[in-house]
Amino acid sequence: MALTFDYKVRDRAGNLVEGQLEGDSLSLVVGKLREMGYLPISVTPKSRVNASMEISIPGFSNRVKLIETAVATRQLATMVDSGLSVVRSLSILAGQVENKELSRVLGEVRLDVEHGSSLSQACAKHPRVFNHLFVTMVQAGEAGGSLDIVLTDLATTMEKQASLNRTIRSAMTYPIVVMSVMIVIFLALLIFIVPTFTKLFAQLHASLPLPTQIIINISKAVLGPGSLVIAAVVIVMVIAFRKWIATEKGRLAWDGFKLKPPIFGQLIHKVALARFTSTFASLVQSGVPILESLDIVTDTAGNKVVGNVLQECKNGVREGRGLADVLREHEDVIPSLVVQMIEVGEQTGALDTMLAKVGQFYDAEVENTVNNLTSLLEPMLTVFMGAGVGVMVISMYLPMFSYIKHIPTQ
């Protein structure tokens, strides 16, 4: 099992460099550092005490958020624009970022660049942090000699994507919280309150109204051994569903279904269009060829239906047709506004500018839709939760009204 070693070395220019490196033994790590052209000063295995204190949760502990990558990219652009070398800039960044995983990745990228790799090649080795869009735009910036400008544009693009993701999360947080609270309240009533009433009704030996009998049956199902079977069935269904949507056919069907609901479907559609147009604008502006740009936005659109349309458009463009002309055949997915703006951009030679304007329009549309959706959902969910609890409480008290009629009066 490979160990992690902290090292301090001097590079060929005499600068002190610190970092971490994995290896099977101390001697192998020292040898590797010497092969890299460094003069080792100290190489020590990472403290086992510290290692034990760092709990690694797969998917969370080693996760690098998009906004963290965006901030690091903007800082890198600023340093490169100020005249610092890429290697020096990466070294400074690796020591500044708080996310340990991002710091480790930046350190490895710096080592690769220092040993002759281009920045795009070094970043391509870490697809979980630097996606296809990042690598392609950096590669275009390196080829055009405008790395600082491309990095700035890339940071702006990622910040917009992060902002869009936050907007979507804010729209979904409230209904999820309300539904979760509602489920907890219902379960508490079914587990602790309803059984008390059930015992009382059993002692009275009277017939129960249908709503009351339904609530009691649900309570017995939740408390009985059948609940474990139900839970197991639900878990199996969730796992099967996740595996199904991971397939090409399942993802296409699920993404198509998500576009159909009246409100949420429109929101998801606008989000996909915002991602497509904004990312496409950044790629074209950076000098990435149209065909390669369409390949990238096919993945970044976030919806398989939109992605498939863009892939079909790529085939049409390859045949020599205009992008707007091909998109016009799919106006059920790509609105006429987008097609018209792209057509104007193609005719005037300002495709990137037109796409950026469309992206800004759909960003604003998404924000407005989220605000309207939140305003609409808040009272609806409050009424729904109150009605649900009210129905359950009234169902439990319905038999009482019948029993009171039969109580003899003096």
Burial of 247 (0-12, 13-18, 19+ CB in 10 A): exposed
Q: Which amino acid is at 194?
A: V
Q: What is the pLDDT of residue 403?
A: 67
93 and 106 Cβ atoms separated by less than 8 Å: yes
Q: Is the pTM of this model over 0.75?
A: no
Q: What distance in Å separates the CA atoms of residue 30 and residue 16, rounded to the nearest whole number?
A: 16
One-letter amino acid for residue 310 of the chain: L
Distance (Å, whole) CA 381 – CA 250 = 30
Angle formed by the axes of helices 210-223 and 194-204, nearest 10°: 120
Q: What DSSP letter does each residue of 339-400 carry, written as one string?
A: HHHHHHHHHHT-HHHHHHHHHHHHHHHHHHHHHHHHHHHHHHHHHHHHHHHHHHHHHHHHHH
Q: Residue ranges of the alpha helices (H) in 189-225?
A: 194-204, 210-223
Q: Are 254 and 268 in contact (CB under 8 A)?
A: no
CATH of segment(s) 66-154: 1.20.81.30
pLDDT tens-digit profile, the chain (410 residues): 556 777 777 777 777 777 777 777 777 777 777 777 777 777 777 644 344 344 444 444 468 888 899 989 998 988 888 888 898 889 888 888 888 889 889 989 998 898 888 999 999 999 889 988 888 889 888 887 888 888 888 888 888 888 888 877 877 787 888 888 888 888 888 888 888 888 888 877 767 888 888 888 888 888 877 778 888 999 999 999 999 998 989 999 999 998 888 878 888 899 889 888 888 888 888 888 888 888 888 877 888 898 888 888 888 888 888 889 999 988 888 898 899 999 999 888 888 889 989 988 988 888 888 888 777 777 888 888 888 888 888 888 887 776 665 555 54
CA dist., res. 27 & res. 37, Å (int): 16
In the chain, CATH 1.20.81.30 sits at: 66-154, 155-410
Domain 155-410: assigned CATH number: 1.20.81.30
Instruction: State the span(s) of the chain assigned CATH 3.10.20.
Output: 3-53
DSSP state letter for 246: T
Say if strands 16-23 and 3-10 run parallel, antiparallel, or are unpaired: antiparallel
| H runs (alpha helix) in 286-350 | 290-300, 304-318, 323-327, 336-348
**DSSP class per residue in 58-113:** TTTTT---HHHHHHHHHHHHHHHHTT--HHHHHHHHHHH-S-HHHHHHHHHHHHHH
**pLDDT at residue 235 in the model:** 94
Strand, helix or coil for residue 211: helix
Cα–Cα distance, 138 to 188 (Å, whole number): 55
Cα–Cα dist 208/147, whole Å: 76
The domain made up of 3-53 is a member of CATH 1.10.3470: no
